[in-house]
Amino acid sequence: MCRLTLTMATSSPPHPKKARIVTSTTSIQKQTNTDDATTMSDEPDEVYIASTSASLAQYQSTHATSIRDTAAYWSDLATSKLEWFAPYPPGSVLTGNFLDGSVSWFAGGKLNVCYNAVDRYCLAPYNRGQETAIIWEGDEPNNVKHITYLELQNNVCRIANALKAIGVKKGDVVTLYMPMVPELAMTMLACARIGAVHSVIFAGFSADAIADRIQDAKSKWVVTASVGARGGRSLPLKSICDAAIKKNQCLGIVEKVLVFDGHGANGSDWVQEADVDMNVHVKFTELVECQRPVCSCEWMDAEDPLFILYTSGSTGRPKGLVHTTGGYALYAMHTTATSFGLTQQTGPSNPNAPHKDVYACVADAGWITGHTYIVYGPLLNGISTFMFESTPMYPDCGRYWDMVQRHKITVFYTAPTAIRSLMRFGDDAPKKYDLSSLKVLGTVGEPINPAAWKWYYDVIGNGRCAVVDTYWQTETGGHIITNLPGVTPMKPGSCTLPCYGIEVVVLDAATGKEIESSPAEGVLAIKQPWPGMARTCLGDHQRYLNVYMKPYPGYYFAGDGCRRDEDGFFWITGRVDDVINVSGHRIGTAEVESALVAHPAVAQAAVVGIPHEIKGTGICCFTTLANGFPESDALIKELSQSVRTRIGPFATPDMIILTPALPMTRSGKIMRRILRKIAAGELDTLGDTTTLLDPSVVGELSAKVEKLR
Ligand code: WTA
């Protein structure tokens, strides 16, 4: 058996690295006699050819077409994949550009995302009303619900009518702070149905963080649940919301808090009557139950906002990215189908395609991954989607694999941090389960290290499944770089090649010039608008321009560094701004710093990422204390708690180092570059420290870090 190289389909010279797996277009089969097949080299650029040269050539040709006349490419898909109440005028497919940040797609066309994701599948020609739309698995493995498209439609209509009964109108922002229960997806869809704009806040955020987001969005309505359940523990969501709306910044903004109940670990009941203020709280489950299951869909303009999602940036203030209706829906739908190789390609042209996939994205709907790849993408494709309330460790580390076996999951999508934490328990846990239903394994949120990639591929996928490493961001709405199962090759650790319609370039960070030859290293940028991109930051378009459009005029700047190898494959090297990805959660170091300095004992704080075996990146905080505050372990605990209170438990620092001084320049700037090196123990590459006001702090800080390691 000869080794395939990429040269058959690319113009690059013969690939010097190993092609370990040779496969056909339709399925991935290990071929015999590849002497590499049993070696587990750590060499990062091994190529796994999960495709043929013909399929790679097909990808290259479609990709070239999709960026040559990108408006035509997306317009064809928009008309064949989505149902419009009124078509967009021919000239409005794509208008505007990156230079002035005025991009719009399909403006003037009218549609409703809920109609496209739910209603149309209950009708001819699809007639899938009796098919499963949502498989929900609760915190306890035996708590499973199958919700059909028809049931979903009825429930969404009831919630939509209840929202209207309270006074929610088109354009209002509705904040959702919910556990991973079907009502979360249903409420998102109900908002879309009536034209309200949802702003989902991940249920791990604290009262302070919720209050900031409610204030920023001026959200009059908050939907929550009495309690949630996770890993056998009860989450007091309503109490946290109550604390949020009492904060100063929310006073006079929130009119009603709508509370679902019955989601506790024990099916817990509605909160104590004493906790209910009937001027504020609405027993939402009761109100929803008495609504009619019919509610017409609002005609939305393609450019009307669909949702806001807050994400972290370089400053302490999170930004509310605004995604719009038509472009986002199309992009979510298209990337879900292509990136996961769904067997059911829907659309009026192919309504009766067989429905074969059991698709499971085990993220939380509170992040963009959940918005696009749990709620909108799968349902817009008319397939069933999986909602998982619990954690990979509950009741034990076999939970994911038990779910794969019980539900016969075919597509499984998670984050590298989960894979790394499960790997620690060895191969026995997954080997106890029948994982033969799996076809595609996805990862998202941070670069996946080759060792974790290989474990996922070999132990979970048994060498038969494509691993798709999907690179994207809250801002991009959907995947922008990933391999396509059975179509393009894989390289462990590389997110591989751009998605259709995405023109990715590598810019020289200093000059902003495109680097055309490969290999190349620089910052990642995109050259042409795509439908799924966020259009603005809520209430602050200037910030949107400053962060994404102005750094390299004419390009969308992603904020990530990258390398493009000799085959044109992309490798994300990490954020080039002050954002870190901790267990796939995106956190601004400035947010953590402001949480620390909010404590009276802290004079200064500087936060940097630190390599972490499981989380990918951990949080390392250097703090100087205000006069009179002595260093103590108790104070370190308090500071850690302060971060949990200001942001949420997922931002808990991994290391807090109290120090009399930070490395500063003579002009008083904290040298974070040096702190990053100290935190990582890379003292031999510290670079020039002569400009430091007091170079001796470096030695003192490294000694403290070493002690904590
Ligand atoms: C990082 C999550 C490498 C990247 C969908 C990006 C990745 C940030 C990958 C966005 C990947 C996401 N490989 N890095 N496959 N996917 N990232 O907005 O730094 O929470 O800019 O969106 O995560 O995080 P966000």
Compute, in angstroms, the gap from residue 584 CA to the centroid of ligand 1.
Answer: 7
Residue 41 has pLDDT above 50, yes or no: no
Q: Residue 107, SS3?
A: coil
Phi, psi for 160 (deg, rounded to 5): -60, -45
Compute, in angstroms, the gap from residue 351 CA to the centroid of ligand 1.
Answer: 34
Sorting pLDDT into bands at 50, 70 and 90, what band is 346?
A: low
Residues with Cβ within 8 Å of 127's Cβ and at least 6 positions away in sequence, in order, are none
Task: Give the pair of three-digit tokens for residue 223.
Answer: 């939907």
Residue type, 95: T
- Return mean pLDDT, the chain: 90
Is residue 568 in contact with ligand 1, taking CB distance under 6 Å? no
Of residues 266 and 5, more confidence is placed in: 266
User: How far is residue 339 from each of residues 106, 138, 397, 469, measured CA to CA in Å?
Assistant: 24, 27, 27, 9
Q: Which protein residue's CA is at the shortest distance from atom 25 of ligand 1?
A: 473
Is residue 98 in contact with ligand 1, taking CB distance under 6 Å? no
- CA gap 234, 261 in Å, rounded: 13
User: Average pLDDT in the 348-370 region?
Assistant: 82
Is residue 410 in contact with ligand 1, taking CB distance under 6 Å? no
Residue 35 has pLDDT above 50, yes or no: no
Residues with Cβ within 8 Å of 385's Cβ and at least 6 positions away in sequence, in order, are 133, 134, 135, 185, 359, 360, 361, 374, 375, 378, 379
Which atom from ligand 1 is nearest to the alpha carbon of 469? 15
Is residue 446 in contact with ligand 1, taking CB distance under 6 Å? yes
Is residue 185 in contact with ligand 1, taking CB distance under 6 Å? no
Compute, in angstroms, the gap from residue 571 CA to the centroid of ligand 1.
Answer: 12
Compute, in angstroms, the gap from residue 3 CA to the centroid of ligand 1.
Answer: 33
Of 444, 479, 575, the residue with max ligand 1 atoms within 8 A of its CB, to mutate for a pocket test, comes to: 444
Of residues 692 and 182, more confidence is placed in: 182
- CA gap 571, 563 in Å, rounded: 5
Residues with Cβ within 8 Å of 581's Cβ and at least 6 positions away in sequence, in order, are 445, 446, 574, 575, 587, 616, 617
Sorting pLDDT into bands at 50, 70 and 90, what band is 277?
A: confident
What is residue 39's predicted lDDT score, i.e. its pLDDT?
A: 31
Which atom from ligand 1 is nearest to the alpha carbon of 475? 18
Residue 378 has pLDDT above 90, yes or no: yes
Can you list the pairs that 131-134 forms with residues at least 24 positions away whose Cβ atoms lie under 8 Å? 131/355, 131/384, 132/384, 133/379, 133/384, 133/385, 134/182, 134/185, 134/384, 134/385, 134/386, 134/387
Of 374, 473, 482, the residue with max ligand 1 atoms within 8 A of its CB, to mutate for a pocket test, comes to: 473
Residue 231 has pLDDT above 90, yes or no: yes
Of residues 491 and 29, more confidence is placed in: 491
131 neighbors 384 (Cβ within 8 angstroms): yes
- CA gap 115, 111 in Å, rounded: 8
Residue 29 has pLDDT above 50, yes or no: no
Which atom from ligand 1 is nearest to the alpha carbon of 481? 15
What is residue 669's predicted lDDT score, i.e. its pLDDT?
A: 85
Q: Which protein residue's CA is at the shortest distance from atom 15 of ligand 1?
A: 471
Closest of 653, 651, 658 to residue 208, by C-alpha = 651
Q: Which protein residue's CA is at the shortest distance from atom 10 of ligand 1?
A: 473
Distance of CA 640 to the CA centre of its chain: 25
Compute, in angstroms, the gap from residue 371 CA to the centroid of ligand 1.
Answer: 15
Compute, in angstroms, the gap from residue 536 CA to the centroid of ligand 1.
Answer: 19
Q: Which protein residue's CA is at the shortest distance from atom 13 of ligand 1?
A: 447
User: Average pLDDT in the 24-49 region?
Assistant: 42
Report the residue count for the chain: 709
Sorting pLDDT into bands at 50, 70 and 90, what band is 354?
A: low
User: How far is residue 329 from each of residues 166, 200, 480, measured CA to CA in Å?
Assistant: 27, 17, 15
Q: Which protein residue's CA is at the shortest distance from atom 5 of ligand 1?
A: 473
Which atom from ligand 1 is nearest to the alpha carbon of 367? 20
Which atom from ligand 1 is nearest to the alpha carbon of 482? 15
- Lowest average pLDDT, out of 134-143, 268-277, 578-587, goes to 268-277
Residue 27 has pLDDT above 60, yes or no: no
Residues with Cβ within 8 Å of 170's Cβ and at least 6 positions away in sequence, in order, are 194, 195, 196, 298
453 neighbors 469 (Cβ within 8 angstroms): yes
Compute, in angstroms, the gap from residue 106 CA to the centroid of ligand 1.
Answer: 27
| 125 upstream amide cis, omega within 30 of 0 | yes
Q: Which protein residue's CA is at the shortest distance from atom 22 of ligand 1?
A: 473
- CA gap 89, 316 in Å, rounded: 41
**pLDDT digit string (tens) for 160-195?**
999 999 999 999 999 999 999 999 999 999 999 999
Is residue 224 in contact with ligand 1, taking CB distance under 6 Å? no
What is residue 266's predicted lDDT score, i.e. its pLDDT?
A: 54
Burial of 597 (0-12, 13-18, 19+ CB in 10 A): middle
What is residue 686's predicted lDDT score, i.e. its pLDDT?
A: 85
What is residue 351's predicted lDDT score, i.e. its pLDDT?
A: 59
What is residue 394's predicted lDDT score, i.e. its pLDDT?
A: 97
> Helices 696-708 and 672-680: crossing angle, nearest 10°?
40
Is residue 559 in contact with ligand 1, taking CB distance under 6 Å? yes
Which atom from ligand 1 is nearest to the alpha carbon of 474? 18
Which atom from ligand 1 is nearest to the alpha carbon of 579? 19
Sorting pLDDT into bands at 50, 70 and 90, what band is 286?
A: very high
Is residue 593 in contact with ligand 1, taking CB distance under 6 Å? no
Task: Give the pair of three-digit tokens for residue 161.
Answer: 């009518």
Residue 593 has pLDDT above 90, yes or no: yes
Residue 314 has pLDDT above 90, yes or no: no
CB burial of 383-420 (b: ≥16 within 10 Å; e: otherwise) equals: bbbbbbbbbbebeebbbbbbbbbebebbbbbbbbbbbb
Residue 472 has pLDDT above 50, yes or no: yes
Residues with Cβ within 8 Å of 614's Cβ and at least 6 positions away in sequence, in order, are 417, 420, 421, 424, 583
Q: Half-sphere exposure of 273 toward its Cβ, with a 13 Å CA cutoff?
A: 0
Percent of the chain with pLDDT over 90: 81
Burial of 257 (0-12, 13-18, 19+ CB in 10 A): buried
Distance of CA 45 to the CA centre of its chain: 26
Is residue 473 in contact with ligand 1, taking CB distance under 6 Å? yes
Q: DSSP assignment of 231-275, as one string?
A: TTEEE-HHHHHHHHHTSGGGTTT--EEEEE---STT---SPPGGG
Sorting pLDDT into bands at 50, 70 and 90, what band is 694?
A: confident
User: Average pLDDT in the 556-573 region?
Assistant: 96
Of residues 505 and 22, more confidence is placed in: 505
What is residue 40's predicted lDDT score, i.e. its pLDDT?
A: 33
Q: Residue 379, SS3?
A: helix
What is residue 51's predicted lDDT score, i.e. its pLDDT?
A: 67
Sorting pLDDT into bands at 50, 70 and 90, what band is 278?
A: confident
User: Average pLDDT in the 690-700 region?
Assistant: 86
What is residue 290's predicted lDDT score, i.e. its pLDDT?
A: 96
What is residue 96's predicted lDDT score, i.e. its pLDDT?
A: 98
Which atom from ligand 1 is nearest to the alpha carbon of 574? 19
Q: Which protein residue's CA is at the shortest distance from atom 3 of ligand 1?
A: 447
- CA gap 331, 77 in Å, rounded: 10
Burial of 542 (0-12, 13-18, 19+ CB in 10 A): exposed
Distance of CA 480 to the CA centre of its chain: 12
Is residue 581 in contact with ligand 1, taking CB distance under 6 Å? yes
456 neighbors 401 (Cβ within 8 angstroms): no
Residue 20 has pLDDT above 60, yes or no: no
**pLDDT digit string (tens) for 400-415?**
999 999 999 999 999 9
Compute, in angstroms, the gap from residue 472 CA to the centroid of ligand 1.
Answer: 5
Q: Which protein residue's CA is at the shortest distance from atom 8 of ligand 1?
A: 473
Residues with Cβ within 8 Å of 106's Cβ and at least 6 positions away in sequence, in order, are 75, 78, 88, 92, 93, 302, 303, 326, 327, 330, 531
- Lowest average pLDDT, out of 253-257, 646-650, 669-673, goes to 669-673
Sorting pLDDT into bands at 50, 70 and 90, what band is 276?
A: confident
Percent of the chain with pLDDT over 70: 90
Compute, in angstroms, the gap from residue 582 CA to the centroid of ligand 1.
Answer: 11
| Helical segments of 95-181, H only | 113-114, 120-122, 149-166
Compute, in angstroms, the gap from residue 580 CA to the centroid of ligand 1.
Answer: 10
Is residue 161 in contact with ligand 1, taking CB distance under 6 Å? no
Sorting pLDDT into bands at 50, 70 and 90, what band is 272?
A: low
**pLDDT digit string (tens) for 105-145?**
999 999 999 999 999 999 999 999 999 999 999 999 999 99
Q: Residue 681, SS3?
A: coil
Residue 65 has pLDDT above 70, yes or no: yes
Residue type, 678: I
221 neighbors 252 (Cβ within 8 angstroms): no
What is residue 54's predicted lDDT score, i.e. its pLDDT?
A: 87
Is residue 364 in contact with ligand 1, taking CB distance under 6 Å? no
| 519 upstream amide cis, omega within 30 of 0 | yes
Q: Which protein residue's CA is at the shortest distance from atom 14 of ligand 1?
A: 446
Residue 560 has pLDDT above 50, yes or no: yes
Compute, in angstroms, the gap from residue 470 CA to the centroid of ligand 1.
Answer: 8
Is residue 195 in contact with ligand 1, taking CB distance under 6 Å? no
**pLDDT digit string (tens) for 405-455?**
999 999 999 999 999 999 999 999 999 999 999 999 999 999 999 999 999
Is residue 368 in contact with ligand 1, taking CB distance under 6 Å? yes
H or E, element range at 130: none
677 neighbors 685 (Cβ within 8 angstroms): yes
Task: Give the pair of three-digit tokens for residue 168.
Answer: 């929610």
Phi, psi for 26 (deg, rounded to 5): -90, -30
Task: Give the pair of three-digit tokens for residue 132.
Answer: 């499963």
Compute, in angstroms, the gap from residue 444 CA to the centroid of ligand 1.
Answer: 7
Which atom from ligand 1 is nearest to the alpha carbon of 575? 19
Residue 289 has pLDDT above 80, yes or no: yes
User: Average pLDDT in the 575-604 region?
Assistant: 94
Is residue 572 in contact with ligand 1, taking CB distance under 6 Å? yes
What is residue 629's predicted lDDT score, i.e. its pLDDT?
A: 94
Q: Residue 548, SS3?
A: helix
CB burial of 340-373 (b: ≥16 within 10 Å; e: otherwise) equals: bbbebebbeeebeeebebbbbbbbbbbbbbbbbb
Q: Which protein residue's CA is at the shortest distance from atom 6 of ligand 1?
A: 473
Of 201, 414, 572, 577, the residue with max ligand 1 atoms within 8 A of its CB, to mutate for a pocket test, comes to: 572
Which atom from ligand 1 is nearest to the alpha carbon of 559? 21
